[in-house]
């Protein structure tokens, strides 16, 4: 194990020894433990978000790894002009292989701070499971006022592991007030970390953005935002860059907040910064947005919205003002019923339409403003009529949407009108990676299908969706809640767009002309 040099910053040593540790582990071991070490520039950036100050500070890192983050935090605190006399650092780590390196790093940190700054750093390394060790604070309703840690912390800073755990996992059971279903473990770290803060304490976490919206984290947001008020949020534009040395593909944010315990909202703005990745952190764009724009605490969903530019904020304002949603229009959205591996005996590469087979559409059949079938590629594109039963849908007018976007696609939403008259047969099969919009007990008109598809393919709605949603998955729940124009406006849009020779290339200008106030056209067309 490499040792530190006397002039080496503890954060730099932690980063160096972290790379050494990674080389000792297989990719599977790292994935199983969620071990993705924080780059040193990110650690310094996060440490710079700490505002707490007193003569004695308690700092918690609940997933310490080799200590990069807690070193950056303590270094920053100790180097202040108005510095504490004592910093108490508690670091949790359950990976036994990381304990000797972590001890070496934190010993160096304590020595460094005392020699250079005259600040005493006391270190305690906990080798127990952080979630289970603090579950009592979260049971029952432990996140709410009246149930706090006996020794709270002024600062909680973390890069928690992230991977899904089963609903019967003891950690999920211990935090059943916070999560449901099959939760991602990073949300449990966020919840427990928040519970261990003292009022006005600093919460600084780097996590996937997925907690900010969507049905899977609704229960978490309801509890978490009762406690933590977002103060500053940093968004990484690239899904590859924040943890690129670990080849992690994830949309990450740095969430900074203050524990407020249901106090009345006394801040008018949230600072939102953004960079493409790590290398341009020093040139991040920074903007203030109204706190109510970022997080509406009175809403049922409590979605954290992150507009990183004026165009994002204008898109929010335009779309939020629309009067309808799918339910108001008498429409619903469902997921394609054909799960390929379960329906293997029904699907085929060749078929006899409309006698024995009907078309089977997959995600790759749906392009912007076009449902193109058949493609004659590697996927089976036919499904039998007899025996498939409930897997088949009546061949009616629909709007088809991809449920997932590919890694760095320029648009998150991709939709196409499915016009029944263009396809042979009385039925159609839709694979499970597609959503489809339909009218229960009736049918979309062609103009409605074209108009809705145009909206979903527009830069305006895509910008709104990206600002609200940090997932690559396009959930039906979120589409149900998405604002839409009045029905007559959708029909008028569809009537015009279906006559265009190349609808996909002209959608943005058409939506801007029909749906957006003149002074805000940039939000719709760029």
pLDDT at 124 over 70: yes
* pLDDT mean over 290-299: 89
Question: What's the rounded Cα separation, in Å, for the pair 167 and 398?
Answer: 35
Query: Predicted confidence band at 99 (pLDDT cuts at 50, 70, 90)?
Result: very high
| Distances in whole angstroms, Cα of residue 95 to Cα of each of 32, 63, 92, 102, 245 | 11, 10, 10, 10, 20
pLDDT at 151 over 90: no
Question: What's the rounded Cα separation, in Å, for the pair 447 and 221?
Answer: 38
* pLDDT mean over 459-473: 87
Phi then psi dihedrals of residue 98, to 5 deg: -90, -10
Predicted pLDDT at 266: 61
pLDDT at 31 over 70: no
Q: 10-23 and 40-47 helices cross at what angle (nearest 10)?
A: 140
When the pLDDT of each residue in the chain is averaged and rounded to a whole number, the result is 88
Structure tokens at 8: 């080496």
Question: What's the rounded Cα separation, in Å, for the pair 208 and 470?
Answer: 8
Ramachandran area for residue 229 (φ above 0: left; ψ -120 to 50: alpha; else beta):
beta
Task: Pick the range with the lowest mean pLDDT from 105-114, 145-154, 324-333.
Answer: 145-154
Predicted pLDDT at 144: 46
Termini Cα distance of the chain = 52
Looking at CATH, the fold of the domain delimited by 332-525 is given as Adenine-n6-DNA-methyltransferase TaqI; Chain A, domain 2 (3.90.220)
Q: Which of 69, 62, 65 has its CA nearest to residue 40?
A: 69
Kindly write down the DSSP assignment for every residue of 115-174, as one continuous string: HHH--EEEEEEE-S-HHHHTGGGGTTSTTSTT---SS-EEEEEE-----B--TTSHHHHH
Q: Which of 358, 282, 334 has its CA nearest to residue 440?
A: 334
Residue pLDDT, tens place only, 224-272: 998 899 999 999 986 555 444 444 445 899 999 999 876 655 668 999 9
Ramachandran area for residue 179 (φ above 0: left; ψ -120 to 50: alpha; else beta):
beta
Question: What's the rounded Cα separation, in Å, for the pair 90 and 50?
Answer: 16
Predicted pLDDT at 40: 94
Question: What's the rounded Cα separation, in Å, for the pair 391 and 427?
Answer: 10
**From the CB of residue 165, how many other CB atoms can be counted at a distance below 10 Å?**
16
Query: Predicted confidence band at 35 (pLDDT cuts at 50, 70, 90)?
Result: low
Question: What's the rounded Cα separation, in Å, for the pair 369 and 238?
Answer: 27
Kindly write down the DSSP assignment for every residue of 66-86, as one continuous string: TSHHHHHHHHHHHTSSS--SE
Question: What's the rounded Cα separation, in Å, for the pair 111 and 10?
Answer: 9
pLDDT at 445 over 60: yes
Question: What's the rounded Cα separation, in Å, for the pair 69 and 42?
Answer: 9
| DSSP-assigned beta bridge partners for residue 392 | 429
Q: Which of 88, 142, 87 has its CA nearest to residue 118?
A: 87
Predicted pLDDT at 34: 56
pTM score of the predicted model = 0.87
Structure tokens at 478: 């979120």
Cα torsion through 165, 166, 168, 172, rounded to 10: 30
Predicted pLDDT at 145: 44
Q: How far is CA 373 from the centre of its chain?
A: 33
pLDDT at 409 over 90: no
């Amino acid at each position: 194990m490499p040792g530190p040099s006397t002039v080496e910053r503890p954060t730099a040593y932690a980063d160096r020894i972290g790379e050494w540790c990674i080389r000792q582990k297989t990719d599977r071991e790292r994935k199983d433990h969620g071990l993705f070490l924080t780059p040193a520039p990110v650690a310094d950036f996060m440490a710079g978000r700490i505002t707490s100050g007193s003569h004695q500070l308690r700092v918690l890192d609940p997933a310490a790894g080799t200590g990069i983050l807690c070193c950056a935090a303590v270094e920053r605190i100790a180097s202040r002009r108005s510095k504490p006399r004592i910093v108490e650092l508690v670091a949790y780590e359950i990976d036994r292989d990381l304990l000797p390196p972590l001890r070496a790093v934190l010993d160096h940190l304590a020595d460094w701070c005392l020699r250079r700054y005259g600040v005493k750093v006391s270190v305690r390394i906990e080798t127990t499971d952080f979630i289970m060790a603090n579950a009592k604070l979260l049971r029952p309703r432990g996140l709410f006022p009246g149930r706090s840690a006996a020794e709270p912390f002024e600062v909680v800073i973390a890069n928690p592991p992230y991977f899904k755990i089963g609903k019967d996992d003891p950690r999920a059971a211990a935090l059943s007030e916070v999560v449901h279903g099959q939760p991602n473990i990073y949300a449990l770290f966020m919840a427990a970390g928040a519970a261990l803060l003292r009022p006005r304490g600093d919460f600084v976490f780097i996590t996937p953005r997925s907690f900010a919206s969507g049905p899977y984290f609704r229960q978490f947001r309801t509890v978490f935002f009762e406690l933590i008020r977002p103060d500053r949020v940093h968004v990484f534009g690239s899904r590859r860059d924040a943890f690129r040395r670990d080849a992690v593909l994830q949309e990450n944010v740095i969430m900074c907040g203050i524990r407020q315990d249901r106090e009345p909202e006394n801040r008018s703005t949230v600072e939102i910064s953004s960079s493409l990745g790590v290398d341009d952190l020093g040139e991040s764009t920074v903007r203030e947005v109204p706190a109510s724009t970022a997080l509406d605490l009175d809403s049922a969903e409590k979605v954290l919205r992150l507009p990183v530019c004026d165009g994002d904020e204008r898109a929010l304002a335009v779309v939020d003002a629309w009067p309808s949603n799918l339910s108001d229009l008498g429409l619903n959205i469902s997921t394609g019923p054909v799960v390929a591996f379960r329906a293997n005996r029904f699907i085929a590469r060749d078929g006899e339409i409309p006698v024995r087979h009907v078309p089977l559409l997959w995600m790759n059949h749906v392009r912007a403003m076009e449902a193109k079938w058949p493609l004659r590629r590697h996927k089976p594109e036919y499904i039998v009529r007899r025996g498939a039963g409930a897997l088949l849908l009546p061949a009616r007018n629909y709007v088809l949407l991809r449920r997932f976007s590919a890694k760095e696609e320029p648009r998150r939403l991709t939709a196409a009108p499915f016009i029944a008259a263009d396809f042979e047969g009385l039925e159609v099969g839709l694979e499970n990676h597609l959503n489809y919009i339909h009218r229960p007990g009736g049918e979309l008109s062609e103009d409605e299908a074209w108009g809705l598809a145009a909206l979903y393919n527009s830069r305006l709605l895509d910008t709104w969706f990206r600002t609200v949603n940090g997932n690559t998955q396009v959930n039906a729940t979120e589409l149900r809640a998405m604002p839409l124009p009045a029905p007559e406006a959708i029909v008028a849009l569809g009537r015009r767009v279906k006559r265009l020779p190349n609808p996909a290339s002209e959608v943005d200008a058409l939506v801007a002309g029909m749906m957006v106030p003149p002074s805000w056209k940039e939000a719709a067309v760029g």
